[in-house]
Amino acid sequence: MSFKDVIRQDIKSVFLNFDEFGEMHKLNGKERLVIVDENELTEREKRVKDEGNGLFAKQLLFYIAAEDFGALPSPGKVLNFDGKQYLITDANNEDGIYSISLEATRS
């Protein structure tokens, strides 16, 4: 068994472990185990884009097991996260875990 095989086995038992890191959120109406990156979110909120007229860009970054999400989404597609519409700005496959960045204009 290779190191990459071991990492893939650890995705849900270690990295996305519900008892340690993961939490349930609704993605396009389906409950999924994800990790919302609060540290990165805090850094992003410090750089909130003021769109003018009282609007700003809300940003969110989360991680999910690739097998739970399906095909890697393309930037520009819309994703419903906990009942709110977001635009996918970036999505990467990090050895079986997707990191997905979202953005939405809010007032």
Structure confidence at residue 104 (pLDDT): 87
Structure confidence at residue 89 (pLDDT): 92
Contact 32, 82 (CB under 8 A): no
Structure confidence at residue 94 (pLDDT): 86
Structure confidence at residue 50 (pLDDT): 54
Structure confidence at residue 95 (pLDDT): 82
Residue-wise pLDDT tens for the chain (107 aa)?
A: 786 666 666 665 556 655 667 789 999 999 998 989 877 655 655 555 555 566 667 788 999 999 899 999 999 999 999 999 999 999 999 888 899 999 987 66
Quote the pTM value. 0.74
Distance (Å, rounded) from C-alpha 31 to C-alpha 56?
27
CATH of the domain at 15: 2.40.10
Structure confidence at residue 96 (pLDDT): 86
Structure confidence at residue 40 (pLDDT): 61
Distance (Å, rounded) from C-alpha 16 to C-alpha 29?
20
Write out the residue range of the structural domain in which residue 78 sits.
3-106
Query: Total structural domains in the chain?
Result: 1
